[in-house]
Amino acid sequence: MSKKKALGRGLSALLENVETDITTGTQSESTTRVLGSVAMLPVSQIEANPFQPRTVFDQESLMELVASIEQLGIIQPVTVRKMGFDKFQLISGERRFRASQVAGLTEVPAYIRVANDQAMLEMALVENIQRKNLDAIEIAISYQRLLDECDLTQDALSERVGKKRATISNYIRLLNLEPEVQLAIRENKLSMGHARALLSIESTAARMAAFRKILESGLSVRQIEELAKEAKSKAEAKKRPKPHPLSFEHQKVKSDLMDWFGTKIDLKRDQHGKGKIEINFSSDDDLQRILDKLEI
């Protein structure tokens, strides 16, 4: 079986489709420049991508890329779409584009494509998700935007990015965490495993208490999972209806049953009159004795 392309029908399909290339028209200076697969475009003619999903760029990493560009140039071209005469908009490659500006380049190599706003957004988001060093929240936001703004189902999104649906769901669930917890994930103070364990704690107060214990005491994922189980047990205990206090008459019934069977009897009833009787026995012989009493 051939290996499935990671980009599915997202970025790869759009960029490889010949119908999206601007390769026809009159041979003006502007159109001649886009006849090849890669064109050199003036930096001044390229505007930022308004749909850029990535909002934080590591400064040290960016400067390392600047140094590389100063020595070797841009190895991987950026991707742009034509907006008008000598005007282009960045689709993907903003980090490379920013680094080229810092390096003082006046031109950058670029793939030139045609895409409407929705296709452009999808291309930028899918391309961004494939990047390394993205934090889990950035990935989650990109997945959510693909669902909301590109009108994709999780199944369709799974096809676009080559990820299992469960993986996508786990990332998106991170957006249900409190802003303080999300920030810790972005700053690498909290692992994906810790975050998933925290999500299993329903109570906000209990979840935040566990979160602070992670930061202060370095609790493991397993320890947080145990805290989640304890919190769940406590929550379920609170939801259980409390037994209604027995009236004098019912206490008398309980006492009479204990005398008759010669063993501990538990009688419970709720405020609606529903309940149960539990008869304890200590051995098989004791059970048979009780059954004889019941004539069973």
Residue positions annotated with a catalytic role: 94
Name residue 41's beta-bridge partners.
108
CA dihedral 244, 248, 249, 250 (to 10 degrees): 40
CB 149 within 8 A of CB 121: yes
Decide the pairing of beta strands 107-113 and 78-84: parallel
Phi, psi at residue 241, to the nearest 5°? Answer: -65, 135
Separation between Cα atoms, residue 196 and residue 177, nearest integer Å: 10
Q: Which residues pair with 80 in a beta bridge?
A: 90, 112
| Cβ-based neighbours of 184, under 8 Å, separated by 6 or more | 190, 211, 215
Closest among 11, 79, 15, 5 to 49, alpha carbons compared: 79
Other C-beta atoms closer than 10 Å to the C-beta of 84 total 8
List helix spans (H) across the chain: 11-16, 29-32, 59-72, 94-102, 117-129, 136-149, 154-161, 165-173, 179-186, 192-199, 204-217, 221-239, 248-261, 284-294
Q: In sequence order, what are the residues at sequence separation of 6 or more whose Cβ sits closer than 8 angstroms to the Cβ of residue 79?
A: 15, 90, 91, 92, 93, 110, 111, 113, 123, 127
